[in-house]
């Protein structure tokens, strides 16, 4: 063994053993991890209620649903595309489900299945439009955003005369799906946190340990090159768009079961929060680089800052200042990382 | 495992540009077919059709007598056609081992748990590159940080690894040093001996002539000539690749520049080329043209 290592060192004296620290440094989520620790330290110092069970539950609660979306949007971004309709899809799948079951009296599971099918359809629509027209997904999904928003508000108002569909709690069979999507299994901690962790772990595994994950990096890095070496580019992108819409449906169900009602305004404007969380987590806006764990940490930072500001007794308006600063820092770090990875020679 | 690729009257247009015009040739296994021609002659267009990047506008490609219509490079890969693209088709932000196996990842396990065999993949890349004389320090290194020659070698190693029946190389030696270029030429000969059909595109006659069995000359999207090696001398090949007249012009330009600047080196270079061109013109009497491309 010693002989062997001596031979390799002799073979190329530039051989440098990369330390564990250096490896960690080169991970896309490294910056966000440092940021998360900094934010945690800061608010634990500012507000003594921050590090209590209640404080943590309040941090994790909004982080979880945001995180599920940020991870999905992050994977899509690594695959080189955006989905601006992800936010309104949360509200649209929720109201659709609520209308079908609370208003039209459909079986609760059937209503869930139909709204899920709708989410899959919208994902396919976004994907096909982007692939067929070759327009930037930013524009295509911006169109989808407004189409869905308009149709959702219009239809809901037409049917219920309001913009909120209530009475989901009275639908037969409410209890079991409530347990799956919205219960508090441990103290104040919601089951959504479990979903968040499971979805992040699953996305990480797919991204780093499967062929499909390799294709995601490939199509986001250079779609033409990826196609040239045999990656099914269209399939990969389609699946990513569907994954984002289905995640929106999942979060839509979580919201609806928790509140026992659905509002058309849910998720409006959140599409940028998903993207920002993914960028804070190290996903490149230009695609081809990033991580699912990073996007989840980005969402956690979001939750911590939002809750920390409240617990520190500050006006919640300061949240946006924080957000802007964090986004800029993250984008700068990402740019340096990208430059290093693409140009710098060891 | 022999293969015969027949390209029959294939044309390709890009808007107003005709990149390939009524091209026909036969590429046989156990042979190296060199495609030669000026910049923009249509060489890369031809190999992209054969690799499934895009279909031809007219004409057809037959593999073993059966008409094929590759919808994507994935189809061509399934037929065992490995390609080194001129632009290498590498993803700079991805690691060496991920690039090598992109599109054809080695997996283990059964379906819901099927996952990448990363340790094997990394070891294979290090081994395959080692065979080319390139020591990969870390298979996790990003391809964007490799040197130009290392990157080209990686693309070649990949094509050789996955090309089971045919190997297509579009200017694979452009960025390589003498040693690695030699390795590539040896690879080409080895692939040919294993019974692969090899298509080799290069601007360097000293690389093409020793390994080639069959030479197709492209000029402005059309076949200018189709020769067996026996019909062709290195000098004749050089002349055709350079275009005799163009060289005479170059000599004049160089001579003029030499008198203007008084640079002795330039004058010497002009003389050298002049001698070569004259030598080539003398050879022209022994020219055998074979326009009957099957
Ligand atoms: N995608 C494209 N769109 C438009 N024109 C193209 C495209 N691809 C190739 N062409 C044109 O077709 C012609 C042939 O190009 P091709 O790349 O096949 O040349 P080549 O023989 O490989 O040249 P080189 O030796 O420089 O690599 C060129 O005039 C080029 O401009
Ligand atoms: Mg070319």
Strand blocks (E) in B29-151: 31-37, 58-63, 66-68, 81-84, 107-108, 115-116
Q: Chain A: residue nearest B74 by CA? A: A230
pLDDT the model gives residue A127: 98
Q: What percent of chain B has pLDDT over 70?
A: 89
pLDDT at B247: 61
Q: Using a CB-CB distance cutoff of 8 angstroms, which residues of chain B are in contact with residue A346?
A: 137, 141, 145
Report the distance separating Cα A246 and Cα A146, nearest Å: 19
* A289 to chain B: closest CA residue: B93
| Residues in A touching B72 (Cβ below 8 Å) | 227, 230, 232
Q: Which of A12, A16, A224 sits opposite B135 (nearest CB)?
A: A12
The rounded Å distance from CA B259 to ligand 1 centre is 37
Residue B78 exposed, middle or buried by CB count within 10 Å (0-12, 13-18, 19+): middle
| Closest residue by CA, ligand 1 atom 5 | B14
pLDDT (tens digit per residue) in A120-149: 999 999 999 999 999 999 999 999 999 999
Buried residues in B248-265 as b, exposed as e (16+ CB within 10 A):
eebbeebbeebeeeeeee
Q: How far is Cα A343 from Cα B143, in angstroms, rounded to an integer? A: 10
**DSSP character at residue A102:** I
| Statement: residue A11 has pLDDT above 60 | no
pLDDT at residue A107, rounded to an integer = 96
In terms of CA atoms, which chain B residue is nearest residue A287? B93
Protein residue with least CA distance to atom 18, ligand 1 = B42
- Distance, in Å, from the CA atom of B180 to the CA atom of B21, rounded to the nearest integer, reads 34
pLDDT (0 to 100) of residue B13: 95
Spatial distance between the Cα atoms of A108 and A256, rounded to a whole number of angstroms: 12
Could you tell me if A233 and A122 are in contact, meaning their C-beta atoms sit under 8 angstroms apart? no
Find the A136 Cα to ligand 1 centroid distance in Å. 26
For A44-72, what is the mean pLDDT? 93
User: What pLDDT does residue A62 have?
Assistant: 93
> Which carries the bigger pLDDT value, residue B103 or residue A7?
B103
Compute the average pLDDT of residues A74-87: 97
Neighbours of ion ligand 2 (CB under 5 A): B 43-44, 86
Chains A and B form CB pairs within 8 A to the count of 106
In 3D space, the residue among A253, A211, A224, A247 whose CA is nearest the CA of residue A74 turns out to be A247
Residue A12 confidence (pLDDT): 44
> In this predicted structure, what is the pLDDT of residue A185?
85
Q: Which residues of A touch B94 (CB under 8 A)?
A: 217-218, 221, 288
**Helical ranges in chain A per DSSP H:** 2-11, 20-25, 30-46, 53-78, 86-98, 108-133, 137-160, 175-181, 192-209, 211-221, 223-228, 233-259, 270-280, 292-311, 318-342
Residue A184, pLDDT > 60, answer: yes
A231 vs B102: CB contact, 8 Å cut-off?
yes
pLDDT at A333: 81
The architecture (CATH level 2) of A29-336 comes to Orthogonal Bundle (1.10)
Q: What is the CA radius of gyration of chain B?
A: 21
DSSP state of A100: I
Asked if A211's CB is within 8 angstroms of B91's CB, the reply is no
For residue A330, which of A307, A309, A293, A301 has the smallest C-alpha distance? Answer: A301
Q: Do B145 and A229 touch (CB under 8 A)?
A: no
Do the Cβ atoms of B93 and A228 come within 8 Å?
Answer: no
- Across the interface, of A209, A228, A341, the residue whose CB is closest to B142 is A341
Residue B228 makes CB contacts below 8 A (sequence gap 6+) with B213, B214, B215, B290
Backbone phi and psi for residue A171, each to the nearest 5 degrees, phi listed first: -70, 135
Which residues 209-228 of chain A have a CB within 8 Å of chain B? Answer: 209-211, 213-215, 217-218, 221-222, 224-228
* pLDDT score, position B248: 64
Residue from B7, B37, B40, B205 to probe ligand 1 pocket by mutation (most atoms less than 8 Å from CB): B40
Residue A117: other Cβ atoms inside 10 A: 11
> Which two structure tokens, joined as six digits, stand for B273?
């080329």
* Residue A205 contacts B where some CB pair is shorter than 8 Å: yes
Nearest atom in ligand 1 to the alpha carbon of residue B46 is: 18
Question: What is the CB neighbour count within 10 angstroms for residue B36?
Answer: 25
* Atom 19 (ligand 1) nearest CA: B40
Inter-chain CB proximity A225 and B103 less than 8 Å: no
Nearest-atom index, ligand 1, CA of B37: 21
| CB proximity A235 to B under 8 Å | no
Distance separating alpha carbons of residues A207 and A252, to the nearest angstrom: 24
A316: confidence class by pLDDT, cuts 50, 70, 90: confident
Average confidence score pLDDT of chain A: 90
Residues B132-170: pLDDT tens digits?
Answer: 888 998 999 999 889 888 999 999 999 999 988 999 999
Where is pLDDT greater, at A210 or A33?
A210
Whether A317 and chain B come into contact, CB under 8 Å, resolves to no
| Lowest-confidence segment of A150-159, A216-225, B241-250 by average pLDDT | B241-250
Positions of chain B with pLDDT under 50: 283-294
Nearest one of A327, A221, A200 to A272, comparing CA atoms: A327
* ipTM score: 0.87
- Which residues from chain B sit within 8 angstroms of residue A230, using beta carbons? 72-74, 77, 102-104
Alpha carbons A20 and A28: distance in angstroms, whole number:
15
The model's confidence at residue A56, banded by pLDDT at 50, 70 and 90, is very high
Q: What is the pTM of this model?
A: 0.88
Query: How far is it, in rounded angstroms, from Cα A68 to Cα A203?
Result: 10
- Determine whether the interchain pair B74/A222 forms a contact, defined as Cβ–Cβ distance below 8 Å: no
Candidates A298, A66, A54; CA nearest to A189 is: A54
Q: Which residues does ligand 1 sit against, CB inside 6 Å?
A: B 14, 17, 19, 37, 39-45, 86
User: Going by DSSP bridges, is the β-strand pair B197-201/B31-37 parallel, antiparallel, or unpaired?
Assistant: parallel
CB contact A123 to B (< 8 Å): no
With DSSP H G I counted as helix, E B as strand and the rest as coil, what are the percentages for chain B, rounded to 5? Answer: 45, 25, 30
User: Which tens digits make up the pLDDT trace of A259-314?
Assistant: 999 999 999 999 999 999 999 999 998 999 999 999 999 999 999 998 999 888 88
- Measured in angstroms, the CA of B23 and the nearest CA of chain A are apart by 22
- Residues 33 through 92 of chain B touching chain A, CB cutoff 8 Å: 51, 53, 72-74, 77, 83, 85, 87-92
Mean pLDDT of A210-216: 97
Atom of ligand 1 nearest to the CA of B43: 21
Residue B118: partners with Cβ closer than 8 Å, 6 or more residues away: A209, B97
More confident residue, A324 or A67: A67
Q: Where are the domains of chain A?
A: 29-336
Residue pLDDT, tens place only, A226-256 = 999 999 999 999 999 999 999 999 999 999 9
């Amino acid at each position: 063994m010693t002989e062997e290592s001596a031979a390799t060192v002799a073979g190329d004296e530039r051989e440098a053993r990369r330390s564990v620290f250096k490896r960690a440094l080169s991970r896309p989520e490294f910056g966000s991890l440092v940021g998360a620790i900094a934010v945690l330290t800061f608010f634990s110092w500012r507000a003594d209620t921050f590090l209590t069970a209640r404080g943590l539950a309040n941090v994790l609660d909004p982080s979880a649903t945001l995180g599920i979306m940020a991870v999905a949007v992050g994977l899509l971004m690594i695959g080189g595309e955006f989905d601006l309709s992800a936010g309104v899809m949360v509200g649209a799948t929720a109201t659709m489900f609520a209308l079908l079951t609370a208003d039209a009296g459909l079986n609760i599971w059937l209503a869930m299945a139909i709204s899920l099918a709708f989410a899959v359809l919208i994902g396919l629509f976004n994907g096909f439009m982007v692939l067929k027209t070759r327009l930037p997904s930013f524009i295509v999904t911006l169109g989808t955003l407004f189409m869905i928003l308009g149709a959702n508000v219009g239809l809901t108002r037409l049917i219920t005369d309001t913009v909120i569909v209530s009475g989901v709690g009275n639908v037969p069979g409410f209890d079991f799906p409530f347990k799956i999507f919205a219960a508090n299994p441990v103290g104040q901690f919601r089951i959504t946190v479990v979903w968040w962790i499971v979805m992040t772990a699953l996305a990480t595994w797919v991204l780093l340990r499967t062929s499909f994950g390799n294709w995601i990096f490939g199509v986001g890095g250079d779609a033409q090159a990826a196609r040239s070496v045999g990656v099914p580019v269209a399939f990969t992108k389609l699946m990513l768009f569907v994954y984002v819409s289905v995640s929106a449906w999942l979060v839509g169900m979580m919201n609806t079961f928790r509140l026992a009602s659905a509002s058309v305004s849910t998720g409006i404007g959140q599409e940028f929060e998903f993207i920002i969380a993914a960028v804070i987590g190290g996903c490149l806006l230009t695609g081809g680089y990033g991580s699912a764990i990073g996007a989840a940490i980005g969402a956690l930072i979001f939750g911590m800052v939002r809750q920390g500001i409240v617990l520190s007794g500050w006006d919640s308006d300061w949240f946006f200042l924080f957000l802007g600063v964090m986004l800029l820092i993250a984008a700068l770090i990402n740019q340096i990382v990208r430059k290093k990875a693409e140009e710098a020679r060891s | 495992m022999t293969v015969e690729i027949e390209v029959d009257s294939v044309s390709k247009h890009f808007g107003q540009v005709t990149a390939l015009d009524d091209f026909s040739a036969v590429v046989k296994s156990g042979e190296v077919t060199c495609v030669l021609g000026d910049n923009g002659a249509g060489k890369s267009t031809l190999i992209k059709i054969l690799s499934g990047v895009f279909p031809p506008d007219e004409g057809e490609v037959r593999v073993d007598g059966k008409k094929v219509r590759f919808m994507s490079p994935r189809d061509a890969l399934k037929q065992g056609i490995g390609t080194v693209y001129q632009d290498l088709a590498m993803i700079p932000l991805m690691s060496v081992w991920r690039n090598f196996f992109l599109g054809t990842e080695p997996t283990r396990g059964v379906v819901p748990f099927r996952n990448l065999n990363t340790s094997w993949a990394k070891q294979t890349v290090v081994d395959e590159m080692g065979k080319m004389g390139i020591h990969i320090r870390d298979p996790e290194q990003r391809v964007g940080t490799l040197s130009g020659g290392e990157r080209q070698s990686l693309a070649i190693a990949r094509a050789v690894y996955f090309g089971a029946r045919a190997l297509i190389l579009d200017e694979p030696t452009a960025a390589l040093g003498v040693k690695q270029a030699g390795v590539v030429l040896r690879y080409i000969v080895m692939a040919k001996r294993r019974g692969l059909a090899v298509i080799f595109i290069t601007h360097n006659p000293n690389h093409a002539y020793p390994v080639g069995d069959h030479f197709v000359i492209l000029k402005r999207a059309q076949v200018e000539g189709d020769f067996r090696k026996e019909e062709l001398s290195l000098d004749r090949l050089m002349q055709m690749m350079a275009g005799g007249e163009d060289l005479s012009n170059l000599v004049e330009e160089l001579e003029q520049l030499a008198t203007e600047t008084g640079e002795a080196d330039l004058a010497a270079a002009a003389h050298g080329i002049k001698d070569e061109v004259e030598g080539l013109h003398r050879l022209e009497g022994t020219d055998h043209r074979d326009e009957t491309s099957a």
